[in-house]
């Protein structure tokens, strides 16, 4: 069931997403060669808590594995999403993907971005650029009267025109009262399919785009999603609201 939010609820979801966006910028600013992902995780947690929020991913339960231990998901190069922050030291040339969720006043925000660590290769630059642009291609068609499937179709068409691939096993989602609500927002598919987009919907769109195969695997820690061919991946995510006939990106500072 897709939850329809009131203006007041969207105001709260915007507030949580603003903290998410600020925290992403803080991490981006500090993500340099020599820094560990755990140091960035601590910085993020402090910022969120000092703004009255709670890290939404910390303690997240997933059947059969440990609860997610971090504030941020920290995924490097072939790690697509859900990397666990730790002692890994960031190195020049890596793609560092950071995903952050915040809970405040009972409402969730969720967004992500990929960061270039120092100078990165031209093909990694293109992968990051195309992934970010594909998110905006998806947002562009997330308007009243269109369908949820239009989003994935727009993302997929754009990404594949560059020869990159769309991860199939993970998707975007409704967001706000829970971290993950209906509908599932796939990053691939057919135009004209899925639920009709209506005023009051709040959704997170999050293309995960691979340089090589779209296939992924999960590492032994039960969380880290990696590309099957170990080629690099990028991830960008925004939470958006559709209200009063307009589409607004909520995860901005
Ligand atoms: N943005 C990601 C998602 O929507 C982050 C979830 S991480 C988890 O799936 F720890 F909460 F699972
Ligand atoms: Co999400």
Instruction: State residue 63's pLDDT score.
Output: 77
Instruction: Write the residue with the smallest CA distance to atom 6 of ligand 1.
Output: 57
**Tens digit of each residue's pLDDT (9 = 90 or more) over 165-176:** 999 999 999 999
CB atoms within 10 A of CB 213: 13
Query: How do residues 24-82 score in pLDDT, each as one tens digit?
Result: 999 999 999 999 999 999 999 999 999 999 999 999 998 778 999 999 999 999 999 99
What is the model's pLDDT at position 192?
A: 98
- Top mutation candidate among 24, 69, 73 for ligand 1, by most atoms within 8 Å of CB: 73
Mean pLDDT value across residues 182-187: 98
User: What secondary structure, in 3-state letters, does the chain show?
Assistant: CCCCCCHHHHHHHHHHHHHHHHHHHHHHHHCCCCCEHHHHHHHHHHHHHHCCCEECCCCCCCCCCCCCCCCEEEEECCEEECCCCCCCECCCCCEEEEEEEEEECCEEEEEEEEEECCCCCHHHHHHHHHHHHHHHHHHHCCCCCCEHHHHHHHHHHHHHCCCCEECCCCCEEECCCCCCEEEEECCCCCCCCCCECCCCEEEEECCEEECCCCCEEECCCCCCEEECCCCCEEECEEEEEEECCEEEECCCC
How buried is 109 (Cβ within 10 angstroms: 0-12 exposed, 13-18 middle, 19+ buried)?
buried
CA angle 145, 178, 74 (to 5 degrees): 100
Q: Sign of torsion, CA 158 164 170 172?
A: negative
Phi then psi for residue 114, to 5 deg, are: -105, 140
Ligand at minimal distance from the CA of 204 is 2
**Ligand 1 neighbours by CB, cut-off 6 Å:** 57, 60, 68, 73, 82, 99, 101, 110, 112, 173, 206, 237
pLDDT digits (tens, 9 = 90+) for 229-251: 999 999 999 999 999 999 999 99
For the domain made up of 7-249, the CATH class stated in words is: alpha beta
pLDDT of residue 4: 98
**pTM value surpassing 0.95:** yes
pLDDT band at 90; cut points 50, 70, 90: very high
What does the pLDDT look like over 110-168, one tens digit per residue?
Answer: 999 999 999 999 999 999 999 999 999 999 999 999 999 999 999 999 999 999 999 99
- Which residue in 160, 159, 171, 167 sits closest to 215, CA to CA? 167
Which residues are within 5 Å of ligand 2 (an ion), measured at CB? Answer: 110, 204, 206
Question: Closest residue (by CA) to atom 11 of ligand 1?
Answer: 57
Q: Looking at the DSSP assignment, which residues form a beta bridge with residue 235?
A: 208
What pLDDT was estimated at residue 64? 78
88 has a pLDDT exceeding 80: yes
Q: Which numbered atom of ligand 1 lies nearest the CA of 99?
A: 1
């Amino acid at each position: 069931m897709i939850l329809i939010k009131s203006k007041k609820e969207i105001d709260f979801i915007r507030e949580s997403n603003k903290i998410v966006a600020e925290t992403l910028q803080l991490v981006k600013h500090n993500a340099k060669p020599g820094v560990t992902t755990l140091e960035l995780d601590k910085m993020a947690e402090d910022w969120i808590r000092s703004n009255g929020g709670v890290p939404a991913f910390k303690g997240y339960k997933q059947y059969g594995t440990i609860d997610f231990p971090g504030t941020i998901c920290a995924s490097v190069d072939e790690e697509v999403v859900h990397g666990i922050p730790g002692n890994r030291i960031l190195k020049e040339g890596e793609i560092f993907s950071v995903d952050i969720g915040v809970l405040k006043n009972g409402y969730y925000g969720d967004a992500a971005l990929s960061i270039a660590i120092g100078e990165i290769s031209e093909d990694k630059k293109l992968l990051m650029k195309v992934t970010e642009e594909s998110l905006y291609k998806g947002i562009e068609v997330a308007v009243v009267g269109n369908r949820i499937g239009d989003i994935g179709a727009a993302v997929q068409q754009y990404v594949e025109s560059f020869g990159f691939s769309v991860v199939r096993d993970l998707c975007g989602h409704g967001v706000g009262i829970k971290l993950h609500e209906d509908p599932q927002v796939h990053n691939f598919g057919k135009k004209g399919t899925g639920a009709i987009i209506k005023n009051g919907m709040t959704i997170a769109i999050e293309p995960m785009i691979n340089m090589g195969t779209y296939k992924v695997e999960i590492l032994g820690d039960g969380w880290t999603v990696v590309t099957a061919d170990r080629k690099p991946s990028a991830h960008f995510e925004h939470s958006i609201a559709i209200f009063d006939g307009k589409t607004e990106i909520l995860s901005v500072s």
